[in-house]
Amino acid sequence: MIPRGTRHLLERRVRLLAVLAVFFGAIVTAGLCLRVPDTVATLDPFVEDTLHGMVILVDPGHGGYDGGARAQDSGIWEKEINLAVALQVEKALAARGASVTLTRREDIALCDETTASGTKKRQDMERRVALGEEIGADMVLSIHMNEYRDRAQSGPQVFYRQESEESRLLAGCMQAALISALAPPKERAALAGDYFILRLPVPSVLIECGFISNSAEEKLLLDPAYQARLGEAVAQGVTDYLTLEARRSASPG
């Protein structure tokens, strides 16, 4: 369940998107029929505002003492790539009008130096979730890189909060947006996942952007241009989800 306040915000957002979708759909169709390509380009200032009012927590996984996985060829830690991609996600979401908060903007873990090593991870994760609560997040996007001992494995994969239908739908939209934007050789499907960062009662997904254990994909994930495409794809996934919710609320049952 989504708390009442959040649900109202989402419903307003979803209604607005439904109206916008019909409105822009009509204009784009008219523009295409009239073969006036500029008509589409002039829509950008409006499209950029599709996430206005959304408060989104973006979580670059790991940080500080916790490096996460390690890229096989370059030796670069996952935490560094997560942050680089998360900054691109922030940029793309903010360009569409969303209010974005990152759990970290530098190479740190969110735990105290003095915390016993056995409980550092727990404290770090609890503080990330608490930050989401504090800002009244409407959505949580956690950014990670995958690894596997079989180096042939590749492709982005999205995980969602198990008991949350909204999260499942968001994950489906996100997975489709990533596949559409990045055309990975291996097309994976979104899966339910039991992750601490997905425990807030709002649409929440953890995005494994690709495998840093795969040579070809590691090269891509380290490339700033590819990181920017990832950021755009994630923002598109969020927009597609809200459009889907708008359609669902327009035709209940």
The residues binding Zn ion (CB under 5 A) are 61, 68, 144
With respect to Zn ion, which residue has the nearer C-beta, 17 or 174? 174
- Nearer to Zn ion (CB atom), residue 50 or residue 88: 88
In the chain, beta strands by DSSP E: 55-60, 99-102, 139-146, 157-161, 191-193, 204-211
In the bound state with Zn ion, the residue whose beta carbon lies nearer, of 78 and 232, is 78
Which is closer to Zn ion, CB of 86 or CB of 242? Answer: 86
- Least gap, CB of 67 to Zn ion (angstroms): 9
We find the least distance from the C-beta atom of residue 98 to Zn ion, in angstroms, to be: 23
Cα 188 to Cα 191: distance, rounded to the nearest angstrom: 9
Joined together, the tokens standing for residue 141 give 């996007």
In whole angstroms, the minimum distance from the beta carbon of 125 to Zn ion comes to 12
Minimum separation from the CB atom of position 69 to Zn ion (A) = 6
Tell me 197's DSSP state.
Answer: G
Instruction: Give the nearest residue (CB) to Zn ion.
Output: 144
Sheet order of strands, 99-102 included: 99-102, 55-60, 139-146, 204-211, 157-161, 191-193
Closer to Zn ion at the Cβ: 50 or 142? 142
- Residue with token string 């969020």: 238
State in angstroms the smallest separation of the CB of 78 from Zn ion: 5
Give the integer Cα–Cα distance in Å for 203 and 245.
11
